[in-house]
Structure 1
């Protein structure tokens, strides 16, 4: 007589005996990697030093205000749909995304402004309103952006670039698309008006790049916005992270918080697990690091001989800027400041000069430009009834410059300057309405996220720090080690870090193959 095996029990046994994958970090890249590995049959453990999931996409609460700490928008929802589909699930059923219209408003000191929307005719009209001769340039810029999107995102960005031959094969296309030209340089070829040059070149700042020096391939962001729109996740990006964590656990994986990894362990020249700061050892068949690539190689692999990502190599690399972020809540202002939308960019009096101070000179300038996030326009749950939640972000130098800023001494003075700019240009009367306040400086990013030099976005995405030149998704330093997240290929930003997990999923063998060895 044959006994039928309970399929649920059989699945549990298979999962318990499956190869073990350890993922370091529960940021979006780490959680996406864990989901991909779970779908490939691995038993997954995610280890993270913070109190909850999301990494830089997490949130904190103060006096009823939810402060979304990092990214605030979703530009390519399809990467999340594909991720959920790979796990046999429906992204829309688990995450509530809301399209934004307009995307953001840019304001200049002379009182002029530019409103970014998805509709091409509306955008063309905005361009013509500021500078009628530039309307044709806008059409050409859109075509340029689409070509770079198809090559840079859909092709290179969704496959591994760890082999030199992969780079050599695409060099002619890089040349044809003038990848040697900067984002600002390309915008300057299409627009005469300096305001429009800024409006169509600032996007690399969202991923830690200097618009005057990163490759023009990154003008692809304009196509992303036009093609896919800009969305906000109700509950903030943390809501996406929590949904991802739920998927990992429902796959049978484990997500552990307040568990900081101190070292990647090696056995027979292969990653064999990790050691936590408390001394606990977690063995693994596969190790995935979603920690910053610089931290992975300089600290987690400090006892491993490295050929490429040595200490001198990391030290001479170009790193993204730091971020000063003031999170604040206001009382009874939901009906105030009616002209202030979900996202506003306030430009200071300088563009290139300020960028040079931040990236090249390492000088904290007297003037500033601010990115202002007001989520309560779209998501009332971010604040108590009738109140508002904001953050104001100022790009600043990272901590690695010779004349580094001592933030513990000047943070409050700088915050007061940010408040003065906001009161003067955007939120009159702000000072008397603040009921919650929190400040993050580059020192916070260093200590909270273990980010080298307190950078906001890891390695800067210059042409010789992109694709093959960037830390690879499969480590050349140690067999069985894989990297994901902002510091590796294809780069920072939500689409980038989620795509890094897609690339990783192509590289890591199926669990059944590992088990059969």
Structure 2
């Protein structure tokens, strides 16, 4: 971020951040660290946004992301105000990071430590594949080094800013080839290739069509380490809000933003359900359709945005668990390429599903009543642009829930439907109701035409002092990139950080509850 970038002109003393999700909280901390006065408005009663919390009969469900990688990116936001992530949150490293279960009965523990994973791959698929894994790991590390500074943690004003020596290095690494083929260059076992390529689904592109550069997501999942905050993923936004409040941020919970006041090309105030807040600049973190509606304008694009697949999520509190489940378990069906066709082309529900099951009580039993367990079951599904509409999900949801549980029963989780005591089912209709385009929480797909400088910009033409943050804008989808988006949005207001030493922490209050 050392190159010159466009910044908000004029006064920026007081910034209103709309939304207390991870992007908004990251922006708030970076703005505070740069000396700005910050007001955060949030329609919910607590911070977190999509990383929310549902408490029901002693079960504490995280309603958003369940996988936490690259904690140093979160710590960078805390450090902006002289604080520390690890002072606020106990992070528990997950060993293994995942357990992968395959339709042929094979099981693989996915370790992020090199020696442990090499030994596991050799046990699972033999010494030749273990050697391929060693080469793959080295490639992923080089890919991450090349991409992070220039292509991920970077604001773009023009595609010409891609023309750096790192672009040539990325090309030399094969980053512009296809992900599936590149992973296959290192690994022949089709099951292993799935473990290092399934992540592209959440970027909205099948591995056979995704750029190999997107393997950087696999780096985060399989090399950098996977962690769990004690108290659940919601502990992260809680801690960020507490740190921001202690650094002087003014939080307004239960304030729904109704409109933005303008004077010419500048936003002069944010109007909420509780009144008017004058401002010098605004950071908008809602999904793109909501932000564009508030701004009264949207950017011109030659092609309509394509959106990632959506997901059905069942949050289940159960009276038992199953030994084969790790903290995170990938349950793969026989189908693979056909599954991606269903999710991204034909708009059909998966006929042979691949599922993510997260059991947070494996690491933190206090998240459920004594002797009980939490299970988060995520089934990817088509978004509402190409699949069932939001209205259709009202009838489809209970049937699909039963279908997924029956499939898990067949895969070894015997009696899972009868074990459910408390539950919350989330479908594309719910995402649609929350304002997410195409009924997906994963926003715009990471096609080449929607990545880097081609992704919707965080500056909007025709408005001088509004900046966007969140998964719909730069750099994209996922907890690490959303945290970066808040940092990049703050840099549009303040200019790139000068990286001073941490300033002393001053405690002036608390936001959204005590420290986890």
Q: Give 1:379's aligned residue.
A: 364
Q: Give 1:34's aligned residue.
A: 28
SS at match of 2:120: helix
Q: CA separation in 1, counterparts of 2:217 and 2:263?
A: 42
Closer, same or farther in 2 for the Cα pair 1:37/1:426, shift >3 Å? farther
TM-score scaled by structure 1? Answer: 0.88
Q: Within 5 A, what are the aligned runs for 1:160-179?
A: 160-169=155-164, 171-179=167-175
Q: Give 2:300's aligned residue.
A: 308
**Residue by residue, what CA displacement relative to the aligned partner does 1:216-254 show, whole Å, maximum 9, x if unpaired?**
112123333455311001111211111111122222222
Shift of 1:117: 0.5
Q: CA separation in 1, counterparts of 2:12 and 2:444?
A: 35
* Alpha carbons 1:36, 1:87 under 8 Å: kept: yes
* Alpha carbons 1:208, 1:456 under 8 Å: kept: no
Gapped regions of structure 1 (runs ≥ 5): 1-16, 512-517
Q: Within 5 A, what are the aligned runs for 1:187-266?
A: 187-225=183-221, 227-266=223-262
The farther-off stretch of 488-497 and 411-420 is 488-497
Shift of 1:451: 0.7
Q: Give 1:10's aligned residue.
A: none
Q: Give 2:58's aligned residue.
A: 64
Q: Within 5 A, what are the aligned runs for 1:128-147?
A: 128-132=122-126, 133-147=128-142
Q: Give 1:93's aligned residue.
A: 87
Q: CA separation in 1, counterparts of 2:368 and 2:323?
A: 17
Equivalent position to 1:151, from 146, 152, 159: 146
* Alpha carbons 1:269, 1:479 under 8 Å: kept: yes
* Alpha carbons 1:294, 1:487 under 8 Å: kept: no
* Alpha carbons 1:363, 1:397 under 8 Å: kept: yes
Closer, same or farther in 2 for the Cα pair 1:403/1:343, shift >3 Å? closer
Equivalent position to 1:324, from 312, 317, 322: 312
Q: Within 5 A, what are the aligned runs for 1:86-485?
A: 86-132=80-126, 133-169=128-164, 171-225=167-221, 227-276=223-272, 278=273, 280-297=275-292, 299-301=293-295, 303-304=296-297, 306-308=298-300, 313=303, 316-331=304-319, 333=320, 336-401=321-386, 404=389, 406-448=392-434, 450-485=435-470
SS at match of 1:502: helix
Q: Give 1:11's aligned residue.
A: none
Q: CA separation in 2, counterparts of 1:509 and 1:474?
A: 14
* Alpha carbons 2:313, 2:377 under 8 Å: kept: yes
SS at match of 1:192: coil
**Residue by residue, what CA displacement relative to the aligned partner does 1:141-193 show, whole Å, maximum 9, x if unpaired?**
11221121012223322221223321233543443233332322211222211
Closer, same or farther in 2 for the Cα pair 1:252/1:57, shift >3 Å? same
Shift of 1:115: 1.1
Shift of 1:204: 2.2
Q: CA separation in 2, counterparts of 1:431 and 1:509?
A: 52
Shift of 1:46: 1.3
Shift of 1:47: 1.6
Shift of 1:74: 1.7
Q: CA separation in 2, counterparts of 1:429 and 1:402?
A: 30
Shift of 1:367: 2.6
Shift of 1:49: 2.1
Gapped regions of structure 2 (runs ≥ 5): 1-10, 497-516
* Alpha carbons 1:41, 1:510 under 8 Å: kept: no
SS at match of 2:342: helix
Closer, same or farther in 2 for the Cα pair 1:225/1:441, shift >3 Å? closer
Q: CA separation in 2, counterparts of 1:367 and 1:473?
A: 38
Closer, same or farther in 2 for the Cα pair 1:477/1:130, shift >3 Å? farther
Q: CA separation in 1, counterparts of 2:100 and 2:62?
A: 21
Q: CA separation in 2, counterparts of 1:308 and 1:279?
A: 33
Identify the structure with the greater helix proportion: 1
Shift of 1:202: 0.7
Shift of 1:110: 1.0
Shift of 1:348: 1.6
Q: CA separation in 1, counterparts of 2:426 and 2:408?
A: 17
Shift of 1:126: 2.5
Q: Give 1:8's aligned residue.
A: none
Q: Give 1:5's aligned residue.
A: none
* Alpha carbons 1:328, 1:390 under 8 Å: kept: yes
Q: Give 2:500's aligned residue.
A: none
Q: CA separation in 1, counterparts of 2:217 and 2:117?
A: 15
Shift of 1:287: 0.7
How many pairs are equivalent? 483
Q: CA separation in 1, counterparts of 2:196 and 2:485?
A: 26
Q: CA separation in 1, counterparts of 2:94 and 2:167?
A: 37
SS at match of 1:67: strand
SS at match of 1:98: strand
